[in-house]
Structure 1
């Protein structure tokens, strides 16, 4: 072997300059070893790749330059080449000079003398790391694609520019009743579907290829020659090569046949329900008319009968008839309103109305009921509430009457307070509604200012259990089954109120605590009417007037104080008759007599009339005006009012 090595060195030395020039021109690394594995020559590319000089590697073998396991592998390959006398081609992992793994493609060829004796090895190799990495990534992507196509329950396909199938998912093959997905390759839609469906599919695919844009989430009807039609949700996209050129289409679709059938059944059921609801509404409207006609006659006759001479027993009977007829009429109206709302046949007006009139009339309607239970019915309207608004005053009054009526019904002692304030707009309650928020109606200008008002009805009644609070807003529902037996009612009033507030684009909420009371409030937007009531000039002239407010209810005292302060008066508050008389004495002594005295009609120990009588007796020279307040319309007491010089009642 040593002799062979010397011969190779001499031969190589004679041709070195020529061989060096040729070898350095090669784009691959080239190395020559003798039969002992010692390096005799390396070209420029090899030295650059290894980051070494020729002098540092000459006469060194693999064990001098590589880790033992790599060196042993290289030597073994060399031995195979020298024994067989044939070239060896391989792709191997190696370590670069910076320690990172690289992949090289290697060619080892035996060097022979004139007698065909192997005297050395020529090694050529080049870096193929990028190719190997790319091939690994490609195999990984192909594995992912295969996994996807084999397991996804949706139909996926790839087509060429002629709409011939290139590949499909297993689910699509199953849909086509094919054993293997490869069976579809080369076919087109006309081989599978009816010609009409194939033509529509081809038009879609041409559109995708010409525009370069996808057709997304389209519901398609698939017609087959040998089975019933099916439905799918389909997306079709352009299929591009690496350069971006469109070379076909690909798409994904999901079978929605069962969903489509279910939707159709739901539509049919909805149509049937709509027709049934319309029939019900018509029936209720007709029945309501038929019942209200004789009911109005009964009410009218009972009113006439009440004006005739009746015995006490007959008058009680007549009152019972009238009350029963009124209850039945209210029930009919509630059922009719609920039916109209359910059928979307109830429309709101948009007309100018007086804010205070609507609120006060709602309270007056129920004042007698409050008085019968010795309840204070209080109302507080903030000064910044506009005097005139645009909307449906009848429906607003209906909601207020319902809430106030419920508060009175479920309150045994204490008071019912109605609070009205301006408020910030509520969060977009109807944000998901695609229709306009609130279309302009007849009589309403498009540029009118809109304000949100908050109406709050609070009571000191029995309250509602926490787990029942939301259910009371549902139709035919009350907090407790015993409630109907004890207090009566259909459970429709609050449901109708909530639906009316919804129609007004507002929001109705309830807060309650058992044993302490309940608060219902609703907020809704109102356009402000173009014309507003101007402030009373006489009221401005009364600014600074000293007024004494006498009321045993602290909430009512506070409300009256706020009202008079807004008007510019100077109020003094007392809680009963004795304190009131003492305050009058003190004021007269201080030469600052009261100019107005406001009396609550119903107070314990000393009511308003008794206080007025004592005031007139003890202060006959006082010129203060007296005003008597009552939450209910009491029997006629005009003679007593004149006798006590009470200016207003």
Structure 2
């Protein structure tokens, strides 16, 4: 049985080589660099496998002329062309890639152990050009051909890898172009003006709507700053906003009022976000803004309308006006209600329902009456608003309970509040204090009975 020595620094690869050779029927032993000489002197060794980390061993092996006394097979990286040629020049019988499979290694070993080709017995003088220096080394023809074939294979592998990388690069470039085209299409079709600025405040991008808003082509916007388009105090504010976005790395959103070039007062809704480079460092600010003048004017008009309505309600000091949302939570409590009941608007709006100003027994009794009338149970806010839900209004006498616990009789009218689409958005109750009238009626009744 052939005895072989394996010299390899990598423990996993060394154990794998020994195992593969042993399984193939060879006597293989792993040895260190220092143990090789002793093993060669004391045993008949048929083959020596040397890893590329221990190629200096070749300088110390015993020779018979130009040949080693023991065939040597080196395991070397195919990309290490100089190492391959050096090992063959030193007298190695062959080489294999370090990444060769167990089957390839066993096949190569068997090939080397067979008789050497007699046509390959003569050395040939070859001159190799490397780094501008001519070096003469002696190779056996078969080994040189083998080395050159391996180098050619490696070059072909590299060529295929290069072509694959080029293909992948073209795919990435195509995807990038498509992504940029999509982004460009997106920002140009958004119904909002969009811009980008660098850290110094220079505009680096402006979409079509921004150009239209500035009444200038992009060539007259790119590269300029806010100071070229706005009054200095406004430009300073915009720069402060930009720096805040970059320093905090948080979005900034606001609605701003400005005076257009035609002198009209207008409003814009602005959102600014930080822009980052591939390393995650902020490199500028991106912003979008849209004209919200109509919306802001509507809000102002609504606020003014509410103010006028509140003034009307507050002027009605002799009647209580209380409004609720659909769930019964009070959202309007006028001055008349405050004077009548002793509560403030702050105590009632958004915190209470009308139940707080009603007698529980009276509400329960009315609920029982309605249950008999409509065939299902009524309680809470439903007792007051059922007719309003049905498109009617209800006028009834109720007993109100003041904050101090005293009672008064009121005439209460309840109607529904509807939005523009006719959907109920709440309820309105208008109450008049009829306590004095009720007392007068009671006095007249008693007088008639007397």
| TM value normalised by structure 1 | 0.33
| TM value normalised by structure 2 | 0.45
